[in-house]
């Protein structure tokens, strides 16, 4: 092995030496949890009672922020931040880049005496005005109208981010254009929570539940990620520029032995996880679960669920902290959906439910007949939402990165379907068949009567292949990409649910207006909806070919790629859904379409150029050197009359692979040189021409990787990256 390769492998393997003499960092959860957040407890202790109560009304009942409150809150926040070493503040927002953005301003204000004081006013807190011109807006804002506004979201606590040399105060905010259009992911999420609240309370009122002031969605998202040694990361142009490996042959050992999943966590990784979790606790992020995932080097972290606005902010903090803390351990955290071809990719399981402010989980079957009926109604609405808006759910997870994962054999396919588990599936089938209405006791299926069907509270059966599964008291949307914000997937879940609750409520009211009893009307609504939507229910293996054929027969959508999905985005159905729920105007929806299309094109383009660069400047020269050695050896062998057939055939085979690579590179170059103006056409070109051309280059590189001597190979290989830590 070459000296270089030896060196970096040994470095990667021996870098982490547990410092057994260092004091153990205490993780006293009760004491440190939330200590870096300006949360309710801190507010209560630091604000005058009246101000605190006004703020609480905003936080809990969505009352508008009172500007006179803001000054007092700002001062308290600043003092609190200063005590923690804070010198700066930033509005923290979620632009359409998909990550978070911040611009720091110091508290410093010079005074007349030549000194300075720390100042932070209510208006600093409530509103910011970052230059918005460089954020994606999908045409919502011309570059000359650069103004954008950030507006304080008091429902998500401000927090402190620490650095060895200082700290800053980070304030969660929404981001709009000066004309008031949402330029971010938070605003539509907040609006969708409002829409869901209105529809859900409408339904609850029909069920006679009157004491609920607010219904909101809850989310707990399981995050998968890879940790690799930085020695490898920085030697891979592809990982550094695109987050995934664009070349790389499958290692002799992948996850076939299943020895990584739930395996004992290595010491170095555990140290990194513990510190990450500790920092997340201090930021008030309730992380709960950790384990090794299926692929070598792959892990998972999951928090306890929270309301979806806070959960989405916290999800961003989880991703930020995973990446930040990894570096302290000489590791790099990969959040890409498919960093390694042929191995399991990373997703995010978006666990989602509905909760009332009185603490009822509306997707929990409950214990008594009336709760069961309500549960079935809400459950039917979820099924209906997925059935009617398969396209929107697919769009919510459509990125160039996630295209590599969805439908690959460890991840749900691009076809949406709902898994209910045997018992509940049986009930919905009976509902659809109508048998439920002909119960002679007058109830249906015994619901509303003392003879209850066993509703599956904690269904034992699981279906890991389903994109959308009922898991006892929540649904789990498993198609979300590991690198994505969960803000939009939850926006779509909320808005489609709001829509279907409304439809079912309207139908229920109409039947009652016609003189049906409440129970009979419910039974009829459930029957009709179950019949209409039963094609979306699937209990089998979503990975199989048969399911693809069956789904097609059922008329379900199979939007294989991001481009296919985006083509549906501006359909009349979607525009009117977002408009009537006030979640996104047509203009705002269009702007997201433009932005996502462009992001797809740019992502594929960067990958194509990186593939080309690596193939041409790294792989080809390495292969040429080897080929040179082979041909020289053959010539020399021939000169002395030594047998050279083996060398000759090796040289020929290598020469043929080099030809294949050269040709593939040229085709990729040609494909990538395009001047298509139209966004959609361009995206189609990237999908149909550039991605296949990239795959061909990769194939040739991976064949060469198997024959070119290790010491000549220009980048670390999978077998090194994935197994040495
Ligand atoms: P499972 O093993 O079925 O995935 P877990 O209990 O481990 O279930 O939960 C997985 C994730 O689901 C966690 O993040 C958890 O907080 C979240 N979760 C549990 N209940 C709810 C709920 N009512 N709403 C949203 N998410 C939930
Ligand atoms: Mg789960």
CB 96 within 8 A of CB 137: yes
Average pLDDT over residues 512-523: 93
Our answer on whether the CB atom of 474 is closer than 6 Å to any ligand 1 atom is: yes
- Tens-digit pLDDT profile for residues 463-509: 889 999 999 999 999 999 999 999 999 999 999 999 999 999 999 99
Cα–Cα distance, 37 to 29 (Å, whole number)? 14
Mark whether 14 and 40 lie in a shared domain: no
What's residue 443's pLDDT?
A: 41
pLDDT band of residue 99 (cuts 50, 70, 90) is very high
Mark whether 71 and 109 lie in a shared domain: yes
What's residue 29's pLDDT?
A: 85
Q: How many helices (H) and strands (E) does the chain have?
A: 26, 16
Parallel, antiparallel, or unpaired for β 347-356 and 475-481?
antiparallel
Distance 670 CA to ligand 1 centre (A): 48
- Tens-digit pLDDT profile for residues 380-425: 999 999 999 999 999 999 999 999 999 876 788 899 999 999 889 9
The protein residue whose alpha carbon is closest to atom 19 in ligand 1 is 305
Mark whether 177 and 37 lie in a shared domain: yes
Domain of 235?
1-25+223-346
Whether 164 is covered by a domain: the verdict is yes
Our answer on whether the CB atom of 364 is closer than 6 Å to any ligand 1 atom is: no
Our answer on whether the CB atom of 352 is closer than 6 Å to any ligand 1 atom is: yes
CB 557 within 8 A of CB 394: yes
- Tens-digit pLDDT profile for residues 662-719: 999 999 999 999 889 999 999 999 999 999 999 999 999 999 999 999 999 999 999 9
CA distances from 218 to 40, 189, 309, 310, 474 (A): 19, 12, 9, 9, 9
Whether 279 is covered by a domain: the verdict is yes
- pLDDT of 458 > 60? The answer is no
Whether 534 is covered by a domain: the verdict is no
CA distances from 104 to 1, 119, 153, 158 (A): 48, 14, 17, 14
Mark whether 100 and 170 lie in a shared domain: yes
Mark whether 241 and 335 lie in a shared domain: yes
Cα–Cα distance, 246 to 233 (Å, whole number)? 13
53: domain CATH number is 3.10.20.70
Mark whether 167 and 49 lie in a shared domain: yes
Mark whether 165 and 260 lie in a shared domain: no
Q: How many CB atoms lie within 10 A of CB 475?
A: 26
Distance 642 CA to ligand 1 centre (A): 69
Distance 482 CA to ligand 2 centre (A): 14
Which of 138, 223, 121 is CA-nearest to residue 177? 138
Domain boundary residue, one of 184, 199, 234: 184
Mark whether 78 and 11 lie in a shared domain: no
Mark whether 56 and 131 lie in a shared domain: yes
Determine the atom of ligand 1 nearest the C-alpha atom of 361: 23
Mark whether 7 and 101 lie in a shared domain: no
Whether 285 is covered by a domain: the verdict is yes
The protein residue whose alpha carbon is closest to atom 2 in ligand 1 is 471
271: domain CATH number is 3.30.590.10
- Tens-digit pLDDT profile for residues 287-318: 999 999 889 999 999 999 999 999 999 999 99
- The distance of Cα 690 from the centroid of its chain, to the nearest Å, equals 26
Parallel, antiparallel, or unpaired for β 306-307 and 215-229?
antiparallel
> Left, alpha or beta for 101 (phi > 0: left; psi -120 to 50: alpha)?
beta
Domain boundary residue, one of 317, 346, 375: 346
Whether 523 is covered by a domain: the verdict is no
- Tens-digit pLDDT profile for residues 107-131: 998 988 889 898 999 999 988 988 7
Distance 220 CA to ligand 1 centre (A): 6
User: The tokens 């100042």 sit on which residue?
Assistant: 119
H runs (alpha helix) in 673-717: 679-685, 691-705
The SS3 of residue 452 is coil
Distance 435 CA to ligand 2 centre (A): 33
Our answer on whether the CB atom of 353 is closer than 6 Å to any ligand 1 atom is: yes
Residues with CB under 5 A from ligand 2 (ion): 349
What's residue 65's pLDDT?
A: 81
671: domain CATH number is 1.20.120.1560
Whether 137 is covered by a domain: the verdict is yes
Mark whether 4 and 53 lie in a shared domain: no
Can you say whether the dihedral through the CA atoms of 226, 228, 230, 234 is positive or negative?
negative
Our answer on whether the CB atom of 362 is closer than 6 Å to any ligand 1 atom is: no
Three-class DSSP labels, 187-220: HHHHHHHHHHHHHHHHHHHHCCCCCCCCEEEEEE
- How far from each other are the two terminal CA atoms of the chain, in whole angstroms? 19
Mark whether 666 and 715 lie in a shared domain: yes
Query: Which positions ≥6 away from 576 have C-beta within 8 Å?
Result: none
Whether 428 is covered by a domain: the verdict is no
Domain boundary residue, one of 346, 371, 387: 346
Whether 263 is covered by a domain: the verdict is yes
Total structural domains within the chain: 3
């Amino acid at each position: 092995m070459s000296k270089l390769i030896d060196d970096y492998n040994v470095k990667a393997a021996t870098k982490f030496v547990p410092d057994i003499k260092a004091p153990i960092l205490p993780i006293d959860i009760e004491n440190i949890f939330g200590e870096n957040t300006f949360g309710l407890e801190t507010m209560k202790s630091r604000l005058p009672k009246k101000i605190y109560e006004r703020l609480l009304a905003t936080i809990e009942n969505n009352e508008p922020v009172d500007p006179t409150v803001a000054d007092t809150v700002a001062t308290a926040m600043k003092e609190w931040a200063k005590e923690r070493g804070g010198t700066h503040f930033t509005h923290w927002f979620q632009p359409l880049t998909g990550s978070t953005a911040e611009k720091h301003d110091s508290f410093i204000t010079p005074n007349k005496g030549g000194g300075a004081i720390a100042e932070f006013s209510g208006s600093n807190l409530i509103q910011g005005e970052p230059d918005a011109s460089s954020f994606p807006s999908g045409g919502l804002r011309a570059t000359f109208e650069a103004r954008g506004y950030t507006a304080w979201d008091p429902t998500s606590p401000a927090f402190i981010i620490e650095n060895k040399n200082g700290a800053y105060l980070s304030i969660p905010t929404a981001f709009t254009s000066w004309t008031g259009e949402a330029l971010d992911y938070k605003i539509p999420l907040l609006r969708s929570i409002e829409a869901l609240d209105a529809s859900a309370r409408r339904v609850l009122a029909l069920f006679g539940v009157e004491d609920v002031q607010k219904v909101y969605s809850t989310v707990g998202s399981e995050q998968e990620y890879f940790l690799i040694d930085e020695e490898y990361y920085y030697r891979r142009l592809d990982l550094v520029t695109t987050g995934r490996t664009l070349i790389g042959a499958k290692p002799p050992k992948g996850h076939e032995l299943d020895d990584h999943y739930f395996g004992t966590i290595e010491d170095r990784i555990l140290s990194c996880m513990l510190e990450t979790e500790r920092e997340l606790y201090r930021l008030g992020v309730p992380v709960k679960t950790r384990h090794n995932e299926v692929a070598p080097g792959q892990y998972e972290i999951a928090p306890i669920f929270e309301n979806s606005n806070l959960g989405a902010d916290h999800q961003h903090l989880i991703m930020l902290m995973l990446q930040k803390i990894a570096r302290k351990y000489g590791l790099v955290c990969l959040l890409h959906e498919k960093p390694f071809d042929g191995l399991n990719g990373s997703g995010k399981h978006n666990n989602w439910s509905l909760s009332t402010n009185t603490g009822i989980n509306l997707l929990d079957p409950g214990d008594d007949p009336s709760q069961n009926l309500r549960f079935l109604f809400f459950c039917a609405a979820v099924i209906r939402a997925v059935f009617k808006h398969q396209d929107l759910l697919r769009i919510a997870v459509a990125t160039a990165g996630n295209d590599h994962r969805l439908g690959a054999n460890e991840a749900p396919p691009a076809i949406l379907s709902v898994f209910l588990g045997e018992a509940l599936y049986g009930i919905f089938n009976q509902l659809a068949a109508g048998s439920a209405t002909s119960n002679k006791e007058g109830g249906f299926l015994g619901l509303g009567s003392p003879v209850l069907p066993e509703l599956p509270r904690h269904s034992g059966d699981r279906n890991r292949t389903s994109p959308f599964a009922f898991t006892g008291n929540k649904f789990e949307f498993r198609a979300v990409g590991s690198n994505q914000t969960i803000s939009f997937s939850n926006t779509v879940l909320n808005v489609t649910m709001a829509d279907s609750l409304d439809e079912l409520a309207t139908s229920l009211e109409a039947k009652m207006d016609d003189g049906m009893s409440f129970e009979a009307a419910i039974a009829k609504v459930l029957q009709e909806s179950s019949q209409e939507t039963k094609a979306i229910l699937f209990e089998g293996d979503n990975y199989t070919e048969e399911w693809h054929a069956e789904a097609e027969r059922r008329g379900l959508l199979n939007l294989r790629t991001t481009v296919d999905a985006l083509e549906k985005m501006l359909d009349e159905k979607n525009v009117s859904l977002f408009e009537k729920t006030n979640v996104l105007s047509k203009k705002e929806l269009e702007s997201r379409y433009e932005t996502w299309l462009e992001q797809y094109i740019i992502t594929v383009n960067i990958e194509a150029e990186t593939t080309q660069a690596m193939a041409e400047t790294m792989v080809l020269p390495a292969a040429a050197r080897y080929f040179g050695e082979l041909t020289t050896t053959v010539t020399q062998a021939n000169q002395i009359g030594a047998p050279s057939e083996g060398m000759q055939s090796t040289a020929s085979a290598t020469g043929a692979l080099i030809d294949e690579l050269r040709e593939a590179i040229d085709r990729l170059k040609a494909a990538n040189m395009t001047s298509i103006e139209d966004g959609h056409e361009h995206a189609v070109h990237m999908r149909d021409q550039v991605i296949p051309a990239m795959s061909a280059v990769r194939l040739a590189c991976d064949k060469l990787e198997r024959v070119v001597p290790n010491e000549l190979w220009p980048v670390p290989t999978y077998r090194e990256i994935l197994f040495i830590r």
